[in-house]
Amino acid sequence: MRALAFVVYRYLWGLSRRTHVAVVSAISFVSLSLGAAALVLTLALLEGFQATVRQELKMVGPHALLLPAVGDKLPPGGWLAELAARNPGFSFRKLERGVGWVVALGEAIPVHVEVSEELSGVEVDRVLAARGAIGPGAEVNIVSPAPMLTPLGPAPRQFRVRVERVVPSPARAERGTVRVPRVLGSRLFPQGGQEEVHVTVPPGKDPLVFSEKLTGVPAGVVVRSFRERNRPLLAALALEKALIGLGVSLIVLVASLNLLCNLTMLAVEKRADAAILQAMGLRPQGVRQLFQGLGLAIGVGAGIGGGLGGAVVAEVLHRTQAIPLPRGVFAVSHVPFAVRPEHVAVVLGVTFVASYLASQFPARAAARRSVLEGLRRE
Amino acid sequence: MLVAQDLWKGYGEGERRVEVLRGFSLTVQKGEMVAIVGPSGVGKSTLLYLLGLLDRPDAGEIVIFGKRANLLNEDERAHLRNRKLGFVFQYHLLLADFTLEENVAMPLMLAGERKERALQRAKELLAQVGLAHRGHHYPDELSGGEQQRGAVARALACGPELLLADEPTGNLDAVAARRFFELLQQLHLRDGLTSVIVTHNEVLARGCHRVVHLLPEA
């Protein structure tokens, strides 16, 4: 094996003498490196954007919801306090939900209405603020979904309120939300709204994991975890990453086919070398190992070089914010890259396996070739 | 040391089949220097490859170092080639990507020797054939005679008992051919080497213990 490693080393490092084998190996090396680098960069780019989306989800929305199993009212009693005691670090916010309208700029804008005990004034989210040109201190009319019966027929029940502050919207919200205190909520929804509890995981903890660790939820209450609430989006993100990763890995496949072609040519060109080595005592499987070793050396070197190179480029692009994005179109100001070690490991694995497989055919063909043919060709 | 009995070897199939060797027999004693001569295409190289365990006869038997060659598997044949046989080919056949020193060290490295020790031994062998100063040169930087002497040094690297040479002086001028022969004789006298040499060189053949003529239709 030591002798074979030396032969492989010599074949690969003959570039200074411009030997054909070294030049061809260098071409295969560069192809595979570029493939690995492209794959790492693509995965880092996807991860960067997806991490931004996931972060936005984690920052803005509740991490889990507690909903009534049946109907729209949660069970009565002190179960929420007990739940909070059993799950230290988690925070719980009980509220009622309903729909209504906010009249602004002369039109009735359909909105979600949240009724919370903790509020003292009215809040609107950014979506609604933008839609109705509403800012802190503005006065708007909130229209209840329960009309008032008058001698002339049903009439909308309207409440003029002063907006105290504008708050961030839930992630990817299309409809605006207005948050009102309990007193106003009772008047907007005389029958009461849909009750729910917003759960936030302890600070610094991953909602994806911790929202599923909630214990002691009583009967009659169902938990909709972070994963469950965002299942379609998370699945779409995962699918996007898998498919684009698969697509880009075709570059590695093409590069490994290039390696296969080059190794096949080398095996033919070096048939005399293989024959001489066999005359010196190298076994046929040694010839196979020689070309496998050559393919693997190129694959491992190119995988490590390209993979790490791609990771470094991605990290530099991210840290220097080198690629800006138009403001107002994207949620981030620059193209984000996030290199994850497991992605680099997958790329290295794909490159190693591809180069190993690419070396099989030429290596086996070289081992099967007649020694005499090689000696006579010289 | 070497017994070849009733060897048959041909190439091709059907009507295109050509029988190269037809029942050839040969016995080589230890320390003997045997020349095999004959016209081109008569099967001299084929015979050498059979004796060197690089090919298998269609019929007949070779007993080498007391072992029946047809009972040896590829690994055993490779091991014998490495440890007990040395080859010198017609066109030198040095590995182009390696220096002369590395070429000579290669059989030792294939035998499992450490690179440093193999290179040290290669230097000694190159000194023996008068090429101590050319060890770091690549084959394409050497003359034909130097390449051939380098090939001899490589053939001797593992201390073979039997040297098989295929027209070793075929590409050398008279002076280089004479030097090569003197070197071979020296190795026989000093190390007790046995050799089988395929050659067209009458002078070289006459200097051997025995000359075997291989004739067409033999």
pLDDT tens profile B15-43:
888 888 888 899 999 989 999 998 888 88
Phi, psi of A244 (to 5 degrees): -70, -40
Confidence band, pLDDT 50/70/90 cuts, at residue A267: confident
Q: What is the mean pLDDT of residues A210-234?
A: 86
CA distance B119 to B109: 9
Expressed as residue numbers, the domain containing B181 is: 31-49+73-213
pLDDT digits (tens, 9 = 90+) for A61-88: 788 999 998 888 888 888 888 888 988 8
Q: Does pLDDT of B85 surpass 60?
A: yes
Question: Does the beta-carbon distance from A283 to B74 stay under 8 Å?
Answer: yes
B216: confidence class by pLDDT, cuts 50, 70, 90 = confident
Interface of B to A at Cβ within 8 Å reads 45, 49, 52, 54-55, 74-75, 78-79, 81-83, 87, 89, 91, 93, 95-98, 102, 106-107, 109-112, 114-115, 138, 154, 158
Distance CA B32, CA B188 (A): 8
Given a cut of 90, whether residue A40 has pLDDT beyond it is yes
Quick one: average pLDDT of B118-142? 91
pLDDT band at A19 (very low <50, low <70, confident <90, very high): low
3-state SS assignment for residue B90 = coil
Query: Both A53 and A69 in a single domain?
Result: no
pTM of the predicted model, to two decimals?
0.73
Q: Give yes or no for residue B209 having a pLDDT over 50.
A: yes
Whether residues B55 and A371 touch (CB distance < 8 A) is answered with yes
A288 and A248 co-located in one domain: yes
- Same-domain pairing of A53 and A78: no
Beta-bridge partner residues of B22:
B8
B155/chain A closest Cα distance in angstroms: 8
Q: Residue type at A369?
A: R
Cross-chain CB nearest to B115 (options A6, A11, A14) = A6
Q: What is the mean pLDDT of residues A45-71?
A: 85
B66 in a domain, yes or no? no
Whether residues A340 and A278 share a domain: the answer is yes
Strands (DSSP E) contained in chain A are 64-68, 91-104, 107-116, 122-125, 139-150, 153-167, 176-181, 194-200, 221-224
Q: How many domains does chain A have?
A: 2
Asked if residue B63 belongs to a domain, the reply is: no
| B198 CB neighbour count, 10 Å cutoff | 26
Domain boundary among A198, A226, A254: A226
Would you call B97 and A11 a contact, using CB atoms and an 8 Å cutoff? yes
Q: How large is the average pLDDT for residues B104-121?
A: 93
Query: Cα separation of A340 and A241, whole Å?
Result: 13
Task: Tell me if B134 sits within 8 A of B110, measured CB to CB.
Answer: no
Radius of gyration of chain A (CA): 33
Nearest to A368 by CA among A265, A285, A264: A285
Domain extent, residue A159, equals 64-226
How distant is the Cα of A373 from the closest Cα of chain B, in angstroms?
11
H or E element at residue A60: helix A20-60
First CA to last CA across chain A, in angstroms? 25
CA-based nearest residue in chain B for residue A284: B74
Residue A247 structure tokens? 């697509």
How far is Cα A203 from Cα A190, in angstroms, rounded to an integer? 36
- pLDDT at A18 (0 to 100): 60
Q: Who among A2, A10, A279 is closest to B98 (CB)? A: A10
Taking an 8 Å cut-off on Cβ atoms, the answer to whether B74 and A2 are in contact is no
* A101-153 tens-digit pLDDT: 999 888 889 999 999 888 889 999 999 999 889 999 999 999 988 888 888 88
Structural domain contains residue B26:
no
Q: How many CA atoms lie within 13 A of B87 on its CB side?
A: 29
Helix (H) or strand (E) holding B4: strand B2-11
Query: Phi/psi of residue A204, each to 5°?
Result: 85, -10
Indicate if A211 and A348 belong to the same structural domain: no
Report chain B residues whose CB lies below 8 A from the CB of A272. Answer: 93
Q: Residue A283: list chain B partners with CB under 8 A.
A: 74-75, 78
How does DSSP assign B29-80, residue by residue? -TT-EEEEE--TTSSHHHHHHHHTTSS--SEEEEEETTEEGGG--HHHHHHH
Residue length of chain B = 218
Which pLDDT belongs to residue B218? 47
User: Does B177 fall in a domain?
Assistant: yes
Q: What is the mean pLDDT of residues B105-116?
A: 92
Which comes out higher in pLDDT, residue A362 or B93? A362
Counted domains in chain B: 1
**Nearest residue in A to B107, CA atom:** A280
Helix (H, G, I), strand (E, B) or coil at A214: coil
Helix (H, G, I), strand (E, B) or coil at B170: coil
Let me know if residue B45 belongs to a domain. yes
Domain boundary among A173, A208, A226: A226
Size of interface A-B (CB pairs under 8 A): 78
Across B174-178, average pLDDT: 79
Q: Do the Cβ atoms of B52 and A276 come within 8 Å?
A: no
Contact A283 B87 (CB under 8 A): no
Has residue B24 been placed in a domain?
no
Tell me the three state secondary structure of residue A218: coil
Q: Is the pLDDT of residue B180 over 90?
A: no
Q: What one-letter code names the amino acid at A155?
A: A
Interface mutation vs chain B, best among A11, A23, A266, A280, most B CBs within 10 Å: A280
* Contact by Cβ (8 Å): A259, A359: yes
Residue B143: enclosing H or E segment and its boundaries?
Answer: none
Amino acid at A151: P
% helix, strand, coil for chain B, step of 5? 40, 25, 35
Cross-strand partners of B164: B87, B196
**Interchain CB distance below 8 Å, B107 and A6:** no
Which positions in chain A touch B52 (Cβ < 8 Å)? 279
Residues A213, A113 within the same domain? yes
- ipTM for the complex shown: 0.89
DSSP state of A61: S
Residues 6+ apart with CB under 8 A from A279: A371, A375, B52, B54, B81, B87, B89
- Least Cα separation, residue B75 to chain A (angstroms): 6
Q: What is the mean pLDDT of chain A?
A: 87
Query: What is the per-residue pLDDT across B136-146, written as a single tens digit (0 to 9) for each?
Result: 999 989 988 88
For residue B192, what is the domain's CATH number?
3.40.50.300
Residue partners of A127: CB distance under 8 A and separation at least 6: A169, A173, A174, A175, A176, A177
Same domain for A75 and A12, yes or no, is no
CB-based contact A102:A145 (threshold 8 Å): no
Q: How confident is the model at residue B92 (pLDDT cuts 50, 70, 90)?
A: low
Residue A151 to residue B113: CA distance in whole angstroms: 110
CA distance A255 to B184: 51
A126 with A24, same domain: the answer is no
CA distance B100 to A26: 25
Q: Are residues A104 and A15 in the same domain?
A: no
Give me B90's structure tokens. 């017609």
Residue among B143, A286, A243, A19 at smallest CA distance from B151? B143
| Best CA proximity match to A66, nearest among A48, A87, A41 | A87
Q: Rounded to whole angstroms, how far apart are CA atoms A271 and A377?
A: 8
**A71 and A44: one domain?**
no
Minimum distance, in Å, between the CA of residue B116 and any CA atom of chain A: 12
Per the model's pLDDT, the better-predicted residue between A377 and A350 turns out to be: A350
Chain A: give the shortest CA distance to residue B62, in Å: 18
- Dihedral (C-alpha) B20, B22, B28, B34: value to the nearest 10 degrees? -50
**Among the three residues A201, A226, A251, which one is the final residue of a domain in this structure?**
A226
Q: Which two tokens stand for residue A49?
A: 């954007």
Tell me the average pLDDT across A211-231: 87
Q: Which residues contact A257 (CB under 8 A, 6 or more apart)?
A: A358
Taken as a whole, chain A contains a residue count of 378
Cα–Cα distance for residue pair A115/A96, rounded to 1 Å: 5
- Can you give the pLDDT at residue A315? 94
A106: left (phi over 0), alpha (psi -120 to 50) or beta: left
Most confident of A69-78, B90-99, B132-141, B167-176: B132-141
- Give the whole-angstrom CA distance, residue A345 versus residue A358: 20
CA end-to-end distance (rounded Å), chain B: 23
Select the residue of A3, A11, A378 nearest B110 (Cβ to Cβ): A3
CB-CB contact of A177 with A61 (8 Å): no
- A307 and A325 housed in the same domain: yes
Contacts of B111 in chain A (CB under 8 A): 281
Shared domain for A37 and A72, answered yes or no, is no
